Amino acid sequence: MFVGWIRQNQFKDDLEAFQKTQIIDVNSILRTFESNSDLSYGVYDNHTLVCFLTAYEFDNSIFINNFYYLESVEMSIKKKGITTFF
């Protein structure tokens, strides 16, 4: 399991695969990712995106507007993704 920054060159493909198992707002996710990819983190299991979050940065705060995960992802992995983000 890898937890860290989104694979930038693969993110659109990763989202397409992820969308086959979950209902997600691809446009919102991509807009946020393109705004600041440094605030986009994912969890990969054997190169498959299983959990991710994207956020916007403001002057005095950060707004996490997307947090998605596959149903099979354990709570400890979700927590690790959020903890790594912070």
Give the pLDDT confidence score for residue 63 in this predicted structure.
94
Helices 11-19 and 26-35, packing angle to 10 deg: 160
Sheet holding 48-57, edge to edge: 2-5, 40-45, 48-57, 62-69
Q: What is the pLDDT of residue 45?
A: 92
What pLDDT score does 68 carry? 93
Please choose, from the candidates 18, 81, 20, 73, the residue with its C-alpha nearest in 3D space to the C-alpha of residue 54: 81
pLDDT band at 85 (very low <50, low <70, confident <90, very high): confident
Q: pLDDT tens digit string along 32-83?
A: 999 988 999 999 999 999 999 999 999 999 999 999 999 999 999 899 888 8
Residue 3 pLDDT: 86
Domain extents in the chain: 2-85
27: helix, coil or strand? helix
pLDDT of residue 5: 86
State yes or no: pLDDT of 4 exceeds 90.
no
Helix, strand, coil content of the chain in percent (nearest 5): 40, 35, 25
Give me the CATH code for the 2-85 domain, please: 3.40.630.30
